[in-house]
């Protein structure tokens, strides 16, 4: 197991908190189940193929688009797979859940006067489904989908484009994400505080980053203010 790099956060030096959604604020189990089980099962039935063939075909399709906007584009995949993915997500939205200590962390950030921005690669339709289920939308100063920026967060140009849309000082900003590629692009842009969320899914083991400071729960960051 990778050794944990402990975060060191000076809350007095932070004005803006950028937060990923899936795997960071929300349990990634929903997404893993949807794309790895529910979609393959439905795709197999529709195309009269075995679940194993469906999984192989879908995995190949997924990998072709990984790291691009199409990777999370619900409309693109609905057309590509001939499935109504928006409806399918709503059918299993009972699996959408918030990670422990997230709501407390959002309250904490608000209480100490930080601007809170949700920054996600998720498609706007997916964002709408998840905000409707969790009732979290009002916790943020802004909700930003990569779709409206024009590139995925892994793209180095994302953060400069984001800065044109919302006002933040990269030297006084914290970003938390469960994707190391995203943190690399943000760090290269100059965001001063980047945190890796090591427990993206409640059903999978904790995996620390060997490059970035890691947390399991946001309680760890709140405790630094005590």
Q: Cα(90)–Cα(129) distance, rounded to whole angstroms? A: 7
Q: What's 6's DSSP letter?
A: -
**Is the per-residue pLDDT at 2 higher than 80?**
no
What is the model's pLDDT at position 225? Answer: 79
What is the model's pLDDT at position 226? Answer: 59
E strand intervals along 29-177: 115-120, 142-145, 173-177
Q: Cα(29)–Cα(96) distance, rounded to whole angstroms? A: 8
1.10.3720.10, 3.40.50.1000, 3.40.50.360, 3.60.110.10: CATH of 11-27+97-223:
3.40.50.1000
What is the model's pLDDT at position 52? Answer: 95
What percentage of the chain exceeds 90 in pLDDT? 92
Helix (H, G, I), strand (E, B) or coil at 216: coil
| Cβ burial, residue 226 (10 Å; 0-12/13-18/19+) | exposed
> For residue range 93-114, what is the model confidence (pLDDT) as tens digits?
999 999 999 999 999 999 999 9
pLDDT bracket for residue 141 (50, 70, 90): very high
What is the model's pLDDT at position 144? Answer: 97
Work out the mean pLDDT of the chain and round it to a whole number: 95
State the span(s) of the chain assigned CATH 3.40.50.1000. 11-27+97-223
**Is the per-residue pLDDT at 68 higher than 90?**
no
Query: Taking the CA atoms of the chain, what radius of gyration do you get in angstroms?
Result: 18
- Number of helices and strands (H, E) in the chain? 11, 6
| Cβ burial, residue 183 (10 Å; 0-12/13-18/19+) | buried
**Is the per-residue pLDDT at 135 higher than 80?**
yes
What are the residues whose beta carbons fall under 8 Å from the beta carbon of 130, sequence distance 6 or more? 21, 26, 96, 122, 136
**Is the per-residue pLDDT at 1 higher than 90?**
no
> For residue range 158-209, what is the model confidence (pLDDT) as tens digits?
999 999 999 999 999 999 999 999 999 999 999 999 999 999 999 999 999 9
Helix (H, G, I), strand (E, B) or coil at 193: strand
**Is the per-residue pLDDT at 155 higher than 70?**
yes
Q: Cα(92)–Cα(158) distance, rounded to whole angstroms? A: 31
| Cβ burial, residue 52 (10 Å; 0-12/13-18/19+) | exposed
What is the model's pLDDT at position 203? Answer: 96
Average pLDDT over residues 53-73: 90
**Is the per-residue pLDDT at 90 higher than 90?**
yes
């Amino acid at each position: 197991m990778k050794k944990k790099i402990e975060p060191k956060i000076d809350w007095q030096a932070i004005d803006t908190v950028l937060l990923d959604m899936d795997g960071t604020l929300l349990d990634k189990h929903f997404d893993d189940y949807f794309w790895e089980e529910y979609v393959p099962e439905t795709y197999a039935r529709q195309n009269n193929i075995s679940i194993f063939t469906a999984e192989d075909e879908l995995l190949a399709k997924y990998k072709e688009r990984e790291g691009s906007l199409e990777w999370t584009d619900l409309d693109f995949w609905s057309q590509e797979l001939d499935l109504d993915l928006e409806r399918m997500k709503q059918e299993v939205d009972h699996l959408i859940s918030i990670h422990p200590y997230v709501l407390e962390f959002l309250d904490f950030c608000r209480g100490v006067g930080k601007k809170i921005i949700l920054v996600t690669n998720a498609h706007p339709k997916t964002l709408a489904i998840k905000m409707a289920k969790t009732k979290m939308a009002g916790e943020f100063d802004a909700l930003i989908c990569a779709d409206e920026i024009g590139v995925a967060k892994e793209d180095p140009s994302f953060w400069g484009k984001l800065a044109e849309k919302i006002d933040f000082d990269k030297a006084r900003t914290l970003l938390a994400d469960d994707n190391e590629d995203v943190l690399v692009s943000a760090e290269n842009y100059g965001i001063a505080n980047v945190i890796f969320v090591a427990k993206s899914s409640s059903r999978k083991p904790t995996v620390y980053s060997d490059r970035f400071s890691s947390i399991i729960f946001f309680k760890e960051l709140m405790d630094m203010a005590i």
